[in-house]
Amino acid sequence: MNNQLITSIDEVMLNFSPTSLQILNAVLAIVMFSIAIDLKPADFRRLGRAPKPVLVGLLSQFLVLPALTFGLILVTAPQPSIALGLILVAACPGGNISNFITHRARGNAALSVSMTAFSSVAAIVLTPLNIGFWGSLYGPTREILQKTSIDPVSVAITVGLMLITPLCLGLLLNVKRPDIAARLRMPLQYVSMGIFLGFIALALAANWALFLQVSGGVAALVFMHNALALFGGYAMATLMRLSDFDRRAVMIETGIQNSGLGLILIFGFFGGLGGMAVVAALWGVWHVITGIALAGLMARTEAAR
């Protein structure tokens, strides 16, 4: 990628309509609902009696990953919008599809959903805090942040629509009508995953030429970033002596970020800044590939509890 192209990505604003954002919210809510109907309140009561895995997951999500991200930025020195995109993705809570992938990896799915829920609520404060803190430490991103403000109330509304509401509805359905939940469970999980990936592809169509032009240079950073996230989650869970059953959930939760929320923040608060949007879009595809591949390997063995 030449210097002219690298510079231009910091100046380009990608097109993403308000309708597309609403559809993305709905799609992510469906993904969360498809996971919630696989759980019961008893799953969370057990975690309440032993909260250590959730706390480890939150530390991995909001402390370890942003710190590793900042280290990656210092080493690679990407352009400002790309660097801020990496920071923003790292500051987001765990992605809804982490629950689906943890379940397929024979890890602790209830722990994964709990981490997603707690991290998504905590994101109201911690996501803008992490973006502001780490972004201000890297000179080239400081100027972008000075022109931008993130509204915590808007983030809270987004979190409620995408996660908390479908989570409660899914649990309620599984409690009140387990027969319907059982029939919906498998088909809805696969269909919702397909819809999510299809939406990302369609949403990029309006900017396809630019995306293809710049994605190659950004892809290597996204691949390294995702690998660091998975490694950080695994290392943190191992250091804290979690069981393999819980360790799988923490590793996947840290390596699967809510890139959908990232896109919503980028287009809602950063005007669709090119480098940020490309980073989040690539994350939205790549973490699914690595997550499913990892789940396939892990599913071959039963996790020790």
Instruction: Read off the pLDDT of residues 129-142 as tens digits, 9 standing for 90 and up.
Output: 898 899 999 988 98
Q: Whole-angstrom Cα distance, residue 128 to residue 246?
A: 28
Confidence of residue 1 (pLDDT cuts 50, 70, 90): very low
CATH of range 21-298; options 1.20.1530.20, 3.30.1330.200, 3.40.50.1370, 3.40.50.1100: 1.20.1530.20
| Residue 201 pLDDT greater than 80, yes or no | no
Q: How far is residue 250 from each of residues 42, 58, 77, 188, measured CA to CA in Å?
A: 20, 9, 28, 24
| Residue 218 pLDDT greater than 80, yes or no | yes
pLDDT 10s digits, 89-145: 999 988 767 877 898 898 888 888 788 777 877 887 888 889 889 999 998 898 888
**Residue 110 one-letter amino acid:** A
DSSP per-residue string spanning 50-101: --HHHHHHHHIIIIIHHHHHHHHHHHH---HHHHHHHHHHHHS-B-THHHHH
Phi, then psi, of 241 in degrees rounded to 5:
60, 45
Phi, then psi, of 38 in degrees rounded to 5:
-95, 0
Q: Whole-angstrom Cα distance, residue 244 to residue 27?
A: 31
Contacts by 124-128, CB closer than 8 A, 24 or more apart: 124/152, 124/155, 124/156, 124/159, 125/152, 126/62, 126/91, 127/91, 127/92, 127/93, 127/155, 127/265, 128/91, 128/152, 128/155
**Residue 121 one-letter amino acid:** V
| Residue 291 pLDDT greater than 70, yes or no | yes
pLDDT 10s digits, 277-290: 888 888 887 888 89
| Residue 55 pLDDT greater than 60, yes or no | yes
Tell me what percent of the residues of the chain surpass a pLDDT of 90: 27
So what's the pLDDT on residue 66? 97
SS3 273: strand
